[in-house]
Structure 1
Amino acid sequence: MNDILHRVGITASPEDVYAALTTIDGLAGWWTEDTRGDSAVGGVTEFRFAGAPDPAGFDMLVLDAQPGELVRWEVVGGPEEWIGTKIRFELFRADEYTIVLFRHEGWKEPVEFMYHCSTKWATFLMSLKRLVETGKGEPAPNDVRVSNWH
C-alpha cells in the first residue's frame, strides 16, 4: 500500500484546528465550499467540487474524532482509487504551533492520480492553515489549480 504524507504547523490551538476539521462550516472554509452531511463520528460528510471529473466529490465516513488530537475518515464514495482509503489528521502542540500530521493511506498503487492528489492535499492543507490563522481559507472553487484535473 502507498500513502500520501504531509506535515503542517499552524499557529493556533489544537482545539481551533480540530474545529476546522470536524464541523461543516470549518470543512467548507478550507476544502470545498460545497460541503454537507454529518461530521460526527459514524456520520458521512459529502464534499463536492464543481468542474471536477466525475465523480466530482468524495463521501467520508467519520471513523474517529478525538478533540484536539485526531480525526480519521474512510472514503466510502468517490473515485475508484480513493474508495476504501483512509484519511488521518493527527494534532499535537509544539511551541506556538499545532502540528498536523496528515496521512491519506491505503492507495493500492502510486498511479498518476495519486501524484495529483498529493499536490492538491498540500494546497488544501495550506488553505486549512490560512483559515485557522487568518479566518479565510481558499476552499474550492477558489483553490489553486494544479492541472486539468483541477
Structure 2
Amino acid sequence: MFDRKIPPMLAYSAAEPFDSRDHIFEIKWDGTRCILFLRHGEVCLQNRRLLDITHRYPELVRRLPEAVRAEEAILDGELVVLRSGRPHFPSLQQREHVSDPFKAELLAKELPATYMVFDILLLDGQDCTRRPLLERKEILQRVVTE
C-alpha cells in the first residue's frame, strides 16, 4: 500500500460566492495537503507532489494509528501547525524542509503538527471513493477520533 501514489483532489475558487444544495463548503486550512496511508499501525504521509514526508512528522507517526479505528485506511487532509488555534503557515514551513530525524523530533515538540482530515478514500480494503461525499464524512466521524 505504501508504494501507491494518490494525487489529492484540489480545491478551486469560484468566480464569486454562491449557495447551492449541490455543494458543501468547508474551511480552507492553510497547510500542506497530505494523503495518509495507514496499514497495521504503520503510517505513510504523502504530499501533493506525491513525495513521502513521513520522516518530517514523527509525532503524527506515533499518534495517528491510535486515532484511526481501522487496520487499513487512506485518508485525505491537510497538515497544519496551529498557533492560538489558527494555522500558522510559517511554522509549518519550518517543518517542511527537515531531513534530519533529530531535528524533526525537536520541531515536533516545538511546533507540533495537526492532521485535519476531510475525506476517506479506503477503509479496511473497501474503496470509499464511489460513495457520496456526505456518506464518507459520516464514515470519518465513526473511524477517526481527535
Q: Place the TM-score, normalised by the shorter chain, in its bin.
A: under 0.3
Larger of the two Rg values belongs to structure? 2
Q: Report which of the two has the higher share of helix.
A: 2
Q: TM-score when scaled to structure 2?
A: 0.28
More contact order relative to length (CA 8 Å, sep ≥ 6) = 1
Q: Report which of the two has the higher share of strand.
A: 1
